[in-house]
Structure 1
């Protein structure tokens, strides 16, 4: 048996106020006068205090990201070209010494993707899959300003391409450095806070109930789940710190296990109907009583506690063509379904099963 040899984030800083150490981290990468850093920042921070604290100097680039939609391969390619054209004019075409992604899961995924595409030729759609990246990425730093996706810890950057929604999964994708500052997630809108936090909760439920589970993944997943319960059921006074660590530990758990039915269905919702990952997961999870009965029960308690109401009947007017596209997207995620059912998953995951689940949403 061959065991997975996976890479984790080699350097991390955690604590309130730790964002201020970003300048010190980048100083270690700046060794020549024309070295520059690219900051990819969720545009929600543009006119906010955090936007004024970005330690950009000299020839550095600050790009404000539009994350209205889930990250697309076309957007990654456009951002990469923007950086390359800037570099050609300013520094004889040399790559930045670091790419810094600041924001939620979409901004973190875009930071990872651009860092990869600056050193790998062709469009990002050609790298959607497992271990297709050939060259190491530019040094890259991830700084979450909302917690739950685990994007700061994972080896994937999830992208919607012309044919599919699928990550660029690679050891080269993993951030070289993350900074986890709980101060940065204060003031996130309630619905967004909940939906993104539920991504972490659902990660854990799927991993802990999956066929891929082992003691490494269980150790991280159980602690992450405990933290989620404290945050969403107990109104814990340290909830920002706890949710930030739950997100990181959930990402670590998935590295040696896998997500499951909810994420497979959510990918279909996102690819065809445009739902963001967090709310898409919640819509899908709410119909999975037969898969994760206890997890769904507690999820509904969390929704009730925080007065969250999910959209209903979202697929009732869907065309047959779009329904079939969602079914194809969901059924194409073999590792996720194998984590649910084991090696014989194809006998269970029929178009009829998926259609029935989508019809309940």
Structure 2
């Protein structure tokens, strides 16, 4: 039997205020006058964090437009513009939520790999290491800081660049950066972590490696969203580690039904990942009964509205587009339903599920 030998993040620094070490972390990786490129979530334009970035020489801050999840066309445009302006760069630093970090990973890879990022949507298609890349989350929950994928919406599908070259070389986990996150966004992103823990822990791919990280991440999510009254600094600390552990839990397993279905929503309707998972998971009692019950309690306790009826009025063609995108996610379906998943999740059954949303 052959066991997966997966690539993890190179270096991790954790702690309140550790963002202040960024300059010294980057220094050894600067190559002559080739700049560091900081992709910063556009939310931070004209906010204090933008002024804290340690710029040197030709370094550049690009405010990443993550109104929608990253598109392959946006990745390609950024990489092309950077090559034209600088020739090469020393590194790409993604500062923001999951979309910004995914964008940074993808741009790093496209600085060295030919063609379009759409050519690499799939598993183990990337052939060359990207430039040095750093992930700095300002929201906790996606696990993008540790995952081996970068989720992109391409011309025909929403699918990640899943490869051993995708993980960050360095991540900076500073809970202070998440302190001012909008309440709803913090919940949706935190639930991304909760949901992928449930999917991993109840999946057919589960082993003790995944279980160890998944159980800890789930426990931390429950402490923050079920047991705590109100939000505090301790909540930020716990959720940041839940995100890390949750991302590690799926390194050796996979996510499941909620993620597979939400990919269709994102592709057709532009629904953001965290809220999309919440919309889908809310209707998945038949697959994850205990998890969905607890999820509904967390929604109620935290006074969050989950959008309803978002697929009402869609055409047959639109439903088929979502179904096609979702069914491409074969490892997710196999993890959720087993090797015979295609007999279980028929197109008609998936259509009925989309109609509930």
Same fold flag (TM > 0.5): yes
Shift of 1:30: 2.0
Which residue in 2 is equivalent to 1:65?
Answer: 64
Match of 1:353 among 328, 344, 349: 349
Q: Choose which of 162, 171, 187 in structure 1 pairs with 2:164.
A: 171
Distance 1:11 1:331 in 2: 35
Bigger shift: residues 139-148 or 312-321: 312-321
State the partner residue of 1:74: 73
Which residue of structure 2 lines up, in the alignment, with residue 256 of structure 1?
Answer: 252
1:234, distance to aligned residue in structure 2 (A): 2.0
SS at match of 1:171: coil
Aligned 1:274-293 pairs, distance under 5 A: 274-293=270-289
Equivalent-residue separation in structure 2 for 1:17 and 1:201 (angstroms): 26
Give secondary structure in 2 for the equivalent of 1:38: strand
Shift of 1:295: 0.2
The ranges of structure 1 where at least 4 consecutive aligned residues each deviate by more than 3 angstroms after the TM superposition are none
2:267 is aligned to 271
Structure 1's unaligned 5+ residue stretches are 88-92
Q: Give the deviation of 1:330 after TM superposition.
A: 1.2
- Which residue number in structure 2 is paired with residue 335 of structure 1? 331
Partner of 2:36: 37
The aligned runs of 1:1-361 (5 Å cut-off) are 1-32=1-32, 34-87=33-86, 93=87, 95-235=88-228, 237=232, 238-361=234-357
| Aligned-pair CA distance for 1:31 | 4.7
Quote the Cα distance in structure 1 between the aligned partners of 2:61 and 2:31: 20
**What is the aligned residue count?**
354
Q: Distance in 2 between matches of 1:7 and 1:134?
A: 14
Shift of 1:283: 0.4
Aligned partners of 2:216, 2:276: CA distance in 1, in Å?
A: 24
Instruction: Give, in whole Å, the separation in 2 of the partners of 1:51 and 1:35.
Output: 21
SS in 2 for 1:22: helix
SS of residue paired to 1:156: coil
Q: What does the per-residue CA deviation read over 1:117-139, in whole Å, with 9 as the maximum and x for residues that have no partner?
A: 00001010000001111111101
CA distance in 2, matches of 1:324, 1:131: 27
Q: Distance in 2 between matches of 1:240 and 1:41?
A: 20
Shift in Å at residue 319 of structure 1?
A: 1.0
Deviation string 1:41-63 (CA, Å, 9 cap, x unpaired) is: 11111211100000111111111
Compute the displacement of 1:342 (Å): 1.2
**TM-score, length of structure 1 as denominator length:** 0.97
CA distance in 1, matches of 2:306, 2:9: 34
Query: How far apart, in 2, do the equivalents of 1:332 and 1:35 lie?
Result: 39
Post-superposition Cα deviations, 1:157-184, rounded to whole Å, max 9, x if no partner, equal: 0000000000000110000000000000
2:11 and 2:307 mapped to 1: Cα distance? 40
Query: Aligned with 1:40: secondary structure?
Result: strand
CA deviations 1:286-316 (Å, max 9, x no partner) are 1100000000000000000111111111111
- 1:65: Cα distance to partner? 0.5
Root-mean-square deviation (Å) = 0.9
In 2, Cα distance between the equivalents of 1:109 and 1:270?
15
Cα distance in 2, alignment partners of residues 125 and 31 from structure 1: 29
After superposition, what is the alpha-carbon deviation per residue over 1:5-57, rounded to whole angstroms, capped at 9, x for unaligned? 1011120100000000100011111252x131111111111211100000111
Gaps of 5+ in 2: none
- Residue by residue over 1:213-266, the C-alpha shift from the partner in whole angstroms, topping out at 9 and shown as x without a partner, is 000000000000000001111227411010000001000000000000000000
